[in-house]
Chain A
Amino acid sequence: MNWWQRLLRRDKSEEELEKELNFHLELHTRDLIAQGYTPEEARRQARLALGGPEQVKEMCRDARGTRWLFDLLQDLRYGVRILAKQPGFTAVAVLALGLGIGVNTAMLSTVNGFVLKPLPVEKPSELIEPFWGRKIDNQVWGLFSYANYVDLRDQNKTFSDLCAWSEISAGISSSETRNAGDTERAEVLWGELVSANYFDVMGVKPVLGRDFTPDEDATPNAHPVVVLGNQLWQRRFNSDAAIVGNTIYLNGVPFTVVGVMPESFLGSTFYLRKAFYVPSMMAHTFGRRVEWRTDRSYATFKAYGRLKPGVTIAQAEADLNLVGASLAQLYPTENADTKIQLTTEADGRFADGTRVILYGGLLALFVSGLVLVVACANVANLMLARAVTRAKEIGIRLAIGASRGRIVRQLVTESLLLSLLGGLLGWAIAYEGTQLIRASFPPIPYPAVIDFTPDGYVLKWMLAVSLLTGVIFGLAPALFASRTDLVAVIKGAGAGASQRGRRLNLRGALVVAQVTISIVVLICAGLFIRSLGKALKTDPGFRSENLVTMMINPGLLAYDQPAIKRFFHQLQRNLEAQPGVRSASAINEMPLAVARISSGPIVKEGEIDPPPNKGLYSDTSIVTPQFFDTMQMPLVQGRDFTERDDAEAPRVVIVNQEFARRFYGTAESAMGKRFRFAQGTPLMEIIGIAKDGRYRSLYEDQQTYIYLPFYQNARAGMTLIISAQSTAALPEVVETGRREIAQLDPRMPTYGVMLGNENMEFAYLAPRLAAGMGTTFGVLALVLATIGLYSVMMYAVSQRTREIGIRMALGAQVRDMLRLIVSQGMRLVLIGIVLGLAGAFALTRALGSLLLGVGRTDSVTFLGVSVLLIAVAFVACYIPARRAARVDPLVALRHE
């Protein structure tokens, strides 16, 4: 029988036990009567011989191994009764725990949703990701050229299979061209070029149709076939089961749909949802250079693989590097100094950008963990206070023979009950909280996978945390209570003063701990709020309120360079003629947006290239003429680019003030100077100096920046920027933009449209989240600590009623009493504040750059938080003190 079967059959086995013993007693009585005993005496003798029936039953339960279950049920029933009898205590405790567990679960869900969730593939922890790089680099995160990938795949001895994939985007339509009257929405999709073995390596099967045959990935451009992502299939094709065999147009090229992937599968990356998959041989259709298959320096592919059974990552890495070394010998120009590094896919995630998110997440988890500690201290405090009122009950139970272990078990069961109720509430809070966090995210112009809903992993952790907290805050008070001095307790509450003193000290220590942690959390919150304030006040160097931005990419439609230039030239001209439009231009990556591009090393005219891994880089944008006017980003020196700065004209460049300062001393001396990027790119003359701005984040130290002219460096993927005459005109200008683009090419999709200050949302995201969470945690910690202090003070007053009565009778004034009680509480608070400030000082030192641009020992925050806490704590002490002062000496003395 399982224990749960026993549980269900408990009544039956109890009944049988009873019946069995009764039968025994009956027969024995009968025999004794036959021996001449009177019926009464016979019954007595039979009972004596058997021993107390209840004890025998208990021993039988023990023997059957159902005893603990029996006890547990009893404890639970008793616990529920006790908790129901004190709804106030129960509510406060469950609320405190629920909040503590809730914020932690929400935080964990968020971090989990960002970076921890495994890919929905077969055995995700065994998916191995190789990176290609050079020996001189510590860590390599590089991509593979297709030719190198093929050699590695075919020559390694340690992988059971190795696949390749590459992120692409494409415009989708259901016909080759769209007419002006066509209502079909033009849209840009993210997808992947994949090798034929890709789906086998990932271990996912299509829900409809099939995946690719090796044949389909053997000859360039021969097999235009596509597998659709589930969401695209649902959204655009209404989950049409007959989709397989139909034709869709990607970048104007017809593709045959051969399959649909399951809903859970989102592609190779954990952050971006992919809408379609095509064989890698179709690369040219998606803007890859014609020589993509043969040029070993053209690295655009990532790889995933599975190891053969028994092979370790280190062995596989050594094996791939052997192949890499031979490739380096065969093709020294492209492959010299090859180094290949292997990680699991999960570890490979923390390459660069996501590491900040991970650290930020860990910090948030740490702070929310502190809140949970405060909540636990609070409940422990309540439990201790209650243990005093229950001392009599426990004393009696000990006196009539309950073992200490049994009492402790009983009390811990109660606290586990509390913590599970708290966990339940916490789950609800976390669920709502994660929706709130999700909703606070700005629109991101990519199909980002941001699912913060708590999953099984989070649930498991939350349960563990709930149980752990239950044991932590339950065990100490339970051990304490069970050590009760029996005689003292039963004689009356007045006795046992030493016990009470100790208990009060423990409770005092808990209050000090709560105040300490609250200070730390509040200071974190304060610093984050200050940092948000600083962000909102920071001048990004451009005016966003009248801007409309939208992304377009003629490269998706296979425009060549001259066509791209013509397109943007015409578009800019047409837009500027429209009503409501002040000015229009384009840039490849907006400042303070998601992506950024860095160029270098920078070599001044007359200097030689720096050695490898040396030299300075600078973030760079490619902009069309009028960019500085559209962005209202003034040029402090020189002139703007014009359309005459094209491929035939001398190379020109505009830099920011910081660049001029750093490389040439002043803006004046930088004008007219020439520099180049290493490895033989042509010299560029500085024709203008732009005002400094913010480029990567609002907190950065002043960065250098380079603007390159579009007509000398044309890119296909550009963000169109339109400056409206007024903020009111923004929606109208969006329509104007779309219309003018469609006028030039009706197939051209626009995406990532942002209005006005939405362009700043991404820059504000981190400080907003930090300030929002910091404030939530800070307020929670403050409230919990205040409740803790208040309850301790109330308890102290109630315990000292008699003493206060005597003092009052001897002539103490109300003011004396107030001072007595308040100073007792404030002493604890001050100790806590001093400890907390020291802790916060140490913590903020460790945080460093995560504090987003606020000084580590920001005195305003430290001082402000201390004052806030003292004020709140004073109120929490003053109310109990008022009560003490109102004690009527007569009543107090009669109290005993």
Chain B
Amino acid sequence: MAHPKSDLPQGTLDLLILKVVALGPVHGYAIAQRLEQVSRGVVQIPQGSLYPALHRLENRGLLVAEWDASETGRDAKFYKLTRKGRSQLETQAAGWDRLTKAVSLILKLSEGGAK
């Protein structure tokens, strides 16, 4: 991995987790793997902060968890999105969208201003 890894901006971990879980019931390790694949190694997600985040989201009622047989045959804790979680995902995603658009707009503007 040649390119440097960025730190995840504050608050985005929750959004990413919600997005991954939205695709279907999934356990913690799978979420970690998915996040790493999707971000193609650009974003550094310490696995240690994944579980506290999962528990926090569960506690806030955005996720529910269920114990179920995993691909290894052992019971694993699978996370699922609640309705509250889904609407939260939508608002946060929209917010994120607006923010990134605004930020890139500003970045372009400043280039224009230097002309």
A49 in contact (CB, < 8 A): yes
A62 in contact (CB, < 8 A): yes
Residues of chain A lying within 8 A (CB to CB) of residue B49:
59
Residues of chain B lying within 8 A (CB to CB) of residue A19:
75, 77
Q: How far is the CB of B28 from chain A (nearest CB, A)?
A: 5
Q: How far is the CB of B77 from chain A (nearest CB, A)?
A: 5
> With A63-B56, A65-B59 in contact, do A23 and B48 touch (Cβ < 8 Å)?
no
B46 in contact (CB, < 8 A): yes
Residues of chain A lying within 8 A (CB to CB) of residue B16:
none
Cβ B56 vs Cβ A51 within 8 A: no
Nearest opposing residue in chain B for A50, CB measure? B47
A432 in contact (CB, < 8 A): no
B34 in contact (CB, < 8 A): no
Cβ A24 vs Cβ B46 within 8 A: no
Nearest opposing residue in chain B for A53, CB measure? B48
Kindly identify, within residues 1 to 41 of chain A, every residue whose CB is under 8 Å from any CB belonging to chain B.
Answer: 16, 19-21, 23-24, 26-28, 30
Cβ A20 vs Cβ B77 within 8 A: yes
Cβ B77 vs Cβ A59 within 8 A: no
Nearest opposing residue in chain A for B58, CB measure? A64
Residue interface mask B49-77, A partner, CB < 8 A = 1: 10111011011000000010010101111
Nearest opposing residue in chain B for A13, CB measure? B55
Q: How far is the CA of A16 from the CA of B53 in the complex (A)?
A: 16
B96 in contact (CB, < 8 A): no
Q: How far is the CA of A480 from the CA of B28 in the complex (A)?
A: 45
Cβ A51 vs Cβ B72 within 8 A: no
Nearest opposing residue in chain B for A23, CB measure? B76
Q: How far is the CB of B43 from chain A (nearest CB, A)?
A: 15
Cβ A23 vs Cβ B27 within 8 A: yes
A616 in contact (CB, < 8 A): no
Q: How far is the CA of A50 from the CA of B29 in the complex (A)?
A: 10
Most buried by A among B48, B53, B70, B75: B48
Q: Is the interface of B mostly helix, strand, loop or mixed?
A: helix
Nearest opposing residue in chain B for A49, CB measure? B47
Cβ B48 vs Cβ A63 within 8 A: no
> With A50-B48, A56-B48 in contact, do A23 and B74 touch (Cβ < 8 Å)?
yes
Cβ B46 vs Cβ A51 within 8 A: yes
Q: How far is the CA of A65 from the CA of B57 in the complex (A)?
A: 12
Residues of chain B lying within 8 A (CB to CB) of residue A26:
72, 74
We find that the number of chain B residues with CB closer than 8 angstroms to chain A is 22
> With A49-B47, A50-B47, A51-B47 in contact, do A23 and B70 touch (Cβ < 8 Å)?
yes
A183 in contact (CB, < 8 A): no
State which of B28, B48, B67, B70 has its C-beta within 8 Å of the C-beta of A55.
Answer: B48
Residues of chain A lying within 8 A (CB to CB) of residue B67:
16
Cβ A27 vs Cβ B29 within 8 A: yes
Cβ B47 vs Cβ A60 within 8 A: no
State which of A23, A30, A49, A59 has its C-beta within 8 Å of the C-beta of B52.
Answer: A59
Residues of chain A lying within 8 A (CB to CB) of residue B47:
24, 28, 49-51
Cβ B77 vs Cβ A62 within 8 A: no
Cβ B29 vs Cβ A63 within 8 A: no
> With A20-B28, A63-B53, A64-B59 in contact, do A27 and B72 touch (Cβ < 8 Å)?
yes
Cβ A59 vs Cβ B29 within 8 A: no
Nearest opposing residue in chain B for A65, CB measure? B59
Cβ B59 vs Cβ A16 within 8 A: no
Nearest opposing residue in chain B for A58, CB measure? B52
Q: How far is the CA of A746 from the CA of B27 in the complex (A)?
A: 94
Residues of chain B lying within 8 A (CB to CB) of residue A30:
72
Cβ B51 vs Cβ A21 within 8 A: yes
Cβ A56 vs Cβ B29 within 8 A: no
Nearest opposing residue in chain A for B49, CB measure? A59
Residues of chain B lying within 8 A (CB to CB) of residue A20:
28, 51, 76-77
Residues of chain B lying within 8 A (CB to CB) of residue A51:
46-48
Nearest opposing residue in chain A for B76, CB measure? A23
Residues of chain B lying within 8 A (CB to CB) of residue A27:
29, 72
Cβ B52 vs Cβ A16 within 8 A: no
Q: How far is the CB of A2 from chain B (nearest CB, A)?
A: 13
Q: How far is the CA of A892 from the CA of B53 in the complex (A)?
A: 59
> With A56-B48, A59-B48 in contact, do A64 and B55 touch (Cβ < 8 Å)?
yes
Residues of chain A lying within 8 A (CB to CB) of residue B55:
60, 63-64
Interchain residue pairs with CB less than 8 A apart (29): A16-B77, A19-B77, A20-B28, A20-B77, A21-B51, A23-B28, A23-B74, A23-B75, A23-B76, A24-B47, A26-B72, A27-B29, A30-B72, A51-B46, A51-B47, A51-B48, A55-B48, A56-B51, A59-B48, A59-B52, A60-B51, A60-B55, A62-B52, A63-B52, A63-B53, A63-B56, A63-B59, A64-B58, A65-B59
Apart from the given pairs A50-B48, A60-B51, A60-B52, 16 other A-B contacts in the complex at a CB distance below 8 Å: A16-B77, A19-B75, A19-B77, A20-B28, A23-B27, A23-B77, A24-B29, A24-B51, A26-B72, A27-B29, A51-B48, A56-B51, A59-B48, A59-B51, A62-B52, A63-B56
